[in-house]
Structure 1
Amino acid sequence: MAIQFKEIRQYLARNTRLSICFEDGCYHDYLMISDIPAEKYKDLYVYGIGMMDVEFSKDIYTFPKNVDDATISIKDVTLEPAIEIVLRETPRGIERKAEEVLLFKDIKPYLQIGRNFAVVNREDWSYRLYEWKRDIPEEYDDKFVFGIGMEDNFDENDKDVINILEKREYDSYLNKRMVIVLSDTGRADIDEGI
């Protein structure tokens, strides 16, 4: 069984911006997962998971009444980092290893090839950093996926980097790392019968 959006959405961080992309180049951007209606995209298949800078209105609380007549200029939008989920109507030819649970080896083929991953152990919150997907060792393959998100890519003890980040005028996915939280046990709050 291939991974559908209705399954992967349960693992996406609640406070991360999302860009839902399609093979025709169309995309929809959301401030958080709760902005996506439960039925929307649910039966589409995941084609890829990555990070990208996407457009968001500078005034996120207003929207033109008639979008067809609206003209949005570059001064009205900002580029912000987001988790990008590419969806298709048909599944990729990737054989899933586990049917009713989501293991790391099942999502790994869908991840962007790089850059900057943090693999977090849910049991003790320790983590290891990897620059490329190919660098992530097979030792994680049978771990359960607990969550997928994004965070700043810096060492919290590096005062120089912290000062640079505080002074920057914009954010970018290039300053981020994808966070994949793994666990020895599956999540109890995940709806396995989707």
Structure 2
Amino acid sequence: MSKTTRVPLTALASVLNLFPPDGRVWYKKKRNILRMALIAFCLIGMLVVCFKYGGNVRKHLWIGIGGYSGVLFFFSFFPTYVFYRIRRRQAGPTKADLVFMAFLFLLSFYPLIMLGMVTADIVQGPIVKVIHVEEKWDPKRGGDMVKTSEGTQYEIADRKINMREGGTYRVKVLKHSKLILEAKRQR
């Protein structure tokens, strides 16, 4: 006969905390209201993109708004865990806890700023402009990057887009995300 041991799930139960002792229900807590607002913002943004744009533009805007909202939602669970650890200790917060919280706070600014840029692209939409490519390189992390004669750097969204150094192109670009969606060579 094999013996099984139960692993206490107190950490998970305290993070979720569906039935708190003070009588507040889970949907009236500030952190959960902020999470619901973030999810509502994401869903409304996706609906706006669905009705306003099509094809390649829709795909890249959905990736942006869904991805950055998901990262922010994921980051929202870390402070709850750290505060749970602090409450369980008698001595209070340590320097490591405070440094970790400050690090997470600063780390969450990047997806927040990028979500703002994607939102600005949703509002403005893609723009069409003529650019002259000065330099092209592959950073080995995503799409190829190009630098224009204006000094702006853009990422090429699709491998099907073929741009060469020294060429002049008419491009469809998401201005704030700095993403080239389409390119047609000019003579």
Query: Under TM normalisation by the shorter chain, which class is it?
Result: under 0.3
The structure with more strand, counted as a fraction of residues? 1
Q: With structure 1 as the length reference, what TM-score do the two structures score? A: 0.21
Greater relative contact order (Cα < 8 A, sep 6+): 1
More helix by share: 2
